[in-house]
Amino acid sequence: MAISLKETGKLVADNKTNLILHSYRRCPFAIRVRMVLEEKNLPYTVIEEKSLSHPSMELLRVSPEGKVPVLLHQDFVLPESAIITEYLEETFPEPQLSPSDPKNKAEMRLWTAWCHHQFKPDLDLYKYKLDQLAQQDQEALLARMQSHIRKFENQLRYGDFLLENKFSLADIHVFPFFRQLSKARQDFMEKFNPTLSMQWLDRIQSRTSFERVMRKVEPA
């Protein structure tokens, strides 16, 4: 639930827009928010966590669960990356990153829901537990991963991006997780042959917003 900073007893530091982001290195959820901030060319301050297993007291004041990202805007505290990006879109509408048409906006949210509830859980299994699964479960997981890749491939036949052939929050919400998948295992390309998906990945990785995000998360 969003809370007010007044409830935490902590004041917001001064900056041009009073946007402060609690983040953690290459967290894909935090990358979503940082990309939106960069796409909109908004000045913001990052408070970087050293470890999420031992969250700082500063993070715990605004996120009792110790989770990132958390956005502070003036006296407003907002968790959950997809909610943060939509809040930024509505608060700072230029450049526009979400469709105007209600049906396309619903489609954007469906991509986000699919990412959260289907794609990411399977991605985590594929990255961390594939070799620990029984043969039957491995085959079922690989079949689901192939189905996820087909979803990307089929959609990208219609254009360079996931919606209206225009870069949007749908791309931003899904991209960091597909990027993780592309790096998860050495046989990724051989197993899944994600031709259009990899072109889409390269297209987003070449955006100035992503380049700026990665510069900011590299260790000093």
- pTM here? 0.89
Non-local (6+) Cβ contacts of 133 within 8 A are 125, 141
In the chain, what are the helix, strand and coil shares in percent, each to the nearest 5? 60, 10, 35
Which of helix, strand or coil describes residue 71? Answer: strand
Q: Which residues of 32-57 are buried (b: 16+ CB within 10 A; e: fewer)?
A: bbbbbbbbbeeebbebebeeeeebee
Q: Give the Cα separation of 182 and 205 in Å (integer).
A: 12
pLDDT digits (tens, 9 = 90+) for 92-151: 999 999 999 999 999 999 999 999 999 999 999 999 999 999 999 999 999 999 999 999
CATH number for domain 3-96, candidates 3.90.650.10, 3.90.1170.50, 2.60.40.1180, 3.40.30.10: 3.40.30.10
pLDDT digits (tens, 9 = 90+) for 33-90: 999 999 999 999 999 999 888 999 999 999 999 999 999 998 899 999 999 999 999 9
What are the boundaries of each domain within the chain?
3-96, 102-205
| Contact (CB, 8 A) for 150 and 190 | no
CATH tag, 102-205: 1.20.1050.10
pLDDT digits (tens, 9 = 90+) for 180-211: 999 999 889 998 999 999 999 999 999 999 99
| Contact (CB, 8 A) for 126 and 184 | yes
